Structure 1
């Protein structure tokens, strides 16, 4: 934007120089005319001619005054227009700086979209805008936010990068059907729009679409706002890059890269939190610990790639079976843990049996025997705190291994809880 200010100032200076040169030329002509008149005064035979020339000179002086006044008004109007443009540019720069400052505090794509919406409404009143962001697999763009879209143009929920000329070229692209421009395949409206790719650190992060409801002169109107739109897109691209990096780092610090489940550190924090909350509300917190049977043999016979695929599918089965409030974690190796807040021992046993059946069914798709042994423990039925519930669930897990594998075992209930010790659920039935 500083280059724009410099360009405006240079235009003002050039206009002043030209106007001054024009005025100086007119004054020089007037001086020559006066010199000619003085010369003619010497000879009396030129009195009549002098009178005529004097009349012409007086008229010329009046014309010169009018011309000078018109030039002065033109200079003032031009300076006023240049001042207005400079003031508008300065206000736009201030808005962009304020937007950049706010985006530094944005933690999510929703926060960044809200900042962009507030800024674009001030800088581009009357224009509709849609913000698209790449998904994690980067095979499509999802609509993050849209506002003030004109009638007849609906922001699509998803876009394919292969259908967008702006993304394929990495440059702004204008879709103006009434001006017979080349339009993107996803542009299904007769309303013109300019699409601006958002790129930062050599990578595309999203797409910004700006549109206007009027069709007359739509191409020229969008061309005039393209530079400002690019400034908005550049500021947003840096914010999206930072948010994406933070999300990636957060995911790496909390998730297991192979299964996508939470890691052990997050599991310990979540378990402590759920047990503390349950102790205040009187609700039970259950833990299901499972271990894949004969997993080493599976790796030796079918290779580690097959073992990794089995672990990923087992993790998917666990996530699909649990509630949104439950937490699934990878405890280590082929041992996985599910934390079920507000869940009794009986309900946890039923859930564990469902998990066992789902895991066993994976053997058909992988063409090998797959099963798991599961141990169940709860606070306060079988344990007293988050510290001892995991060892108790682990003890129940090894009891399931000794019982023949591919079964569910519940840990001993504490004294006075009226429950059998180490309840074992054989495949196909619940105790």
Structure 2
């Protein structure tokens, strides 16, 4: 028996020795490789602090900062002072850009940098954030004041790039971009961190050794420990399987939400996924209306319901700006949108996007699922984050699309949108026989007005005319600015007589406009109007636009400030169109 115990003891000691060797190796690996991410964070914090200091230095060195950025150049004295300060730092290159992203100064000369700031970096600066990036560059690319400091063994150097926004009194002026060699700084940090990690690893090894010795000597408790461990491993496996499923569903949710084309489609996806991700809870989602005074109910799932509108003051989560959990404290208050309430716990997650609250995710536990519901708070918060990012993306995409089809001065649709809409309206009219007309509008004597009163006054007139045209549109009618002082209106489902009446009303509305510029009133504004009908005056977009312009020119030739209909030209209309599609005047 003793002979059998000896090999067992040797085997046990051998396993302990192997375990120690493995732990020591792991500790060494942590000390060598685990220090890199910590050091990188320390370097980043140092560079970001340096960027903040430079932002303040710039205002000190350049007294007339706003003037310098405005004219896109620095005085010789300011540039000399900047280069002198740079010589005392590790920064080997600095560039300054104006608000549009155009380079206006560089420490290495006017031709040593890109003329414009890359879009991703410019966007970060516009948002008031510091851009940071760490990379390795060839030692030959890094310019030093003392070239002897560049050793022959240094093939590459660690270089940090930072871009900090420059502002004055809250106004964004531009950005400051610099490159600094952080190789020596990283070495210093590495020398400090690695011994600390090695010490921590040693402490971990000592703790594990102690535990191992206790387990080795506790022969009577070994079987019980093994059973408990087996149970813990089974629980851990179940937890890992649950987490894997949740991660998979969250990934799928994010992928589908990012591909949604509209908010309605997005909320349908949310309803389906939330049913599977959190089956123990019913829920609903609300989004702020355009007026920001109420939230509109958009979707609900798992037998949940949502109200058409709720007020932000009626939700404790929105009022306090953070997650509200009903049922977690001895004293709770019920949100107005949760009424009628039956005592079941619920969550209210404010949906945030780019630091702004855009909506609310409300989840309520099913009866008998309260314990599971409370444990799912972290998962529910992750779902809220995914939903918030998707809502922000859809809203931003809609905003960008709106900007691409809108005239920035008047807010009316632009020529591109007008052409697409006119083409679709003609196709619809061909299929249904519905009437369609096009109105061309031109501001009378606008060039003379512009030359006399200035372009700012001219812009005010264009905005006023655009507002009058937009107010004159109903339903699917579209007002567009196609360029300069020229406008067009697409009027479907109106008879020719109604179109002429509408055109005259619009002319009178513009004539009644009183535009004030500064402390004086501008002269009366009038317009000339030309009207063309489909298909009498053309069956193609370019034909209708041409004939409407011809009618417009006829109105100008007859003295301006009047409405004229395009002359009937049988060659412009298709001979095979049914009589029902011709306007009364052509029939």
TM-score, normalisation: structure 1: 0.68
Structure 1 pair 396/244, CA: closer, same or farther in 2 (3 Å)? same
State the distance in 2 between where 1:175 and 1:201 align. Answer: 27
Distance (whole Å) between structure 2 residues aligned to residue 233 and residue 180 of structure 1: 25
Match of 1:193 in 2: 346
Q: CA deviation at 1:287?
A: 0.5
Compared CA separation, residues 20 and 291, structure 1 to 2 (3 A): farther
Pick the aligned partner of 2:551 from 392, 396, 401: 396
Match of 1:323 among 457, 466, 475: 475
SS in 1 for 2:306: coil
Classify 1:107/1:385 alpha carbon distance in 2 versus 1 (closer, same or farther; 3 Å). Answer: closer
Range 181-190 or range 200-209, more displaced: 181-190
Structure 1 pair 117–365 and aligned structure 2 pair: CA distance change class (3 A) = farther
What's the offset of the Cα at 1:130?
1.6
- How far has the Cα of 1:108 moved from its partner? 1.1
Indicate which of 529, 540, 545 corresponds to 1:385.
540
Residues 377 and 392 in structure 1, CA contact (< 8 A), matched pair in contact too: yes
- Identify the range of structure 1 (222-231 vs 189-198) with the bigger mean alpha-carbon deviation: 189-198
Q: 1:311 to 1:148 in 2, by over 3 A?
A: farther
Partner of 1:95: 249
Distance in 1 between the 2:327 and 2:556 partners?
A: 69
CA deviation vs aligned residue, 1:201-232 (integer Å, no higher than 9, x gap): 44433321112354x896x6654221011110
Alpha-carbon offset, residue 120 of structure 1:
1.1
SS of alignment partner, residue 400 of structure 2: helix
2:235 to 81, 99, 102: 81
C-alpha contact (below 8 Å) 1:109/1:243 kept by paired residues:
yes
Provide the rounded CA distance (Å) in 2 between the counterparts of 1:107 and 1:87.
Answer: 32
How far apart in 1 are the matches of 2:508 and 2:366?
A: 57
Asked whether the 8 Å contact 2:280–2:372 carries over to 1, the reply is: no
- Contact conserved, 1:19 with 1:71, CA < 8 A, in 2? no
Range with bigger deviation, 348-357 or 173-182:
173-182
Partner of 1:409: 564
Partner of 2:365: 212
The structure that is helix-richer by fraction is: 1
Q: 1:114 to 1:281 in 2, by over 3 A?
A: closer
Partner of 1:25: 218
Q: Supply the distance in 2 between the matched residues of 1:334 and 1:189 (Cα, whole angstroms).
A: 57
Separation (CA, whole Å) in 2 of partners of 1:92 and 1:20: 39
Residue 166 in 1 paired to residue 291 in 2? Answer: no
Aligned position for 1:107: 261
Map of 1:121 onto structure 2: 275
In structure 1, distance between residues paired with 2:505 and 2:277: 57
Separation in 1, partners of 2:511, 2:311: 38
Match of 2:502 among 326, 351, 364: 351
Distance 1:193 1:278, change over 3 A: same
Partners of 1:364 and 1:266 lie apart in 2 by: 28
Displacement after TM superposition at 1:294 (Å): 6.1
Determine which structure has more spread, i.e. the larger CA radius of gyration.
1
CA shift for structure 1 position 355: 3.3
Match of 2:38 in 1: none
Separation (CA, whole Å) in 1 of partners of 2:256 and 2:227: 43
How many positions carry a matched residue from both structures? 356
Task: Render the CA deviation track for 1:155-177: whole Å, top value 9, x for unaligned.
Answer: 33334445544345543122459
Q: What TM-score, normalized to structure 2? A: 0.52
Compared with structure 1, are the counterparts of its residues 365 and 165 closer, same or farther at alpha carbon in structure 2 (3 Å cutoff)?
Answer: farther
Q: 1:223 to 1:262 in 2, by over 3 A?
A: same
SS of match in other structure, 1:286: strand
The equivalences for 1:30-429 within 5 A come to 68=223, 74-136=228-290, 138-148=292-302, 150=304, 155-161=306-312, 164-167=315-318, 169-176=320-327, 179-182=330-333, 188-190=339-341, 192-212=345-365, 214=367, 223-279=374-430, 284-293=435-444, 297=449, 300=453, 303=457, 306-307=460-461, 310-319=464-473, 322-324=474-476, 326-341=477-492, 343-359=494-510, 369=524, 371-415=526-570
- Structure 1 309/267 Cα, relative in aligned 2: closer, same or farther at 3 Å? closer
Distance 1:308 1:156 in 2: 42
Q: Deviations over 1:338-390 (max 9, x none)?
A: 12345553342233234345545655999985554321012321235322321
The alpha-carbon deviation at position 96 of structure 1 amounts to 0.8
Runs of 5+ unmatched residues, structure 1: 1-13, 29-66, 418-429
Distance 1:312 1:145 in 2: 37
Distance change >3 Å, CA 205–CA 94, structure 1 → 2: same
Q: What value does the CA root-mean-square deviation take over the aligned residues?
A: 4.1
* Distance (whole Å) between structure 2 residues aligned to residue 384 and residue 83 of structure 1: 70
Consecutive unaligned residues of structure 2, counting only runs of 5 or more, are 1-206, 573-584
Mapped to 2, the partners of 1:82 and 1:197 lie a distance apart of 32
Q: Which has the higher contact order (CA 8 A, sep 6+)?
A: 1
Pick closer, same or farther for the CA change 1:188–1:291 going to 2, 3 Å.
Answer: farther
Structure 1 runs (4+) greater than 6 angstroms displaced = 17-20, 364-368
Q: Flag the 1:280–1:312 CA change in 2: closer, same or farther, 3 A.
A: closer
Native 8 Å contact 1:130 1:147 kept in 2:
yes
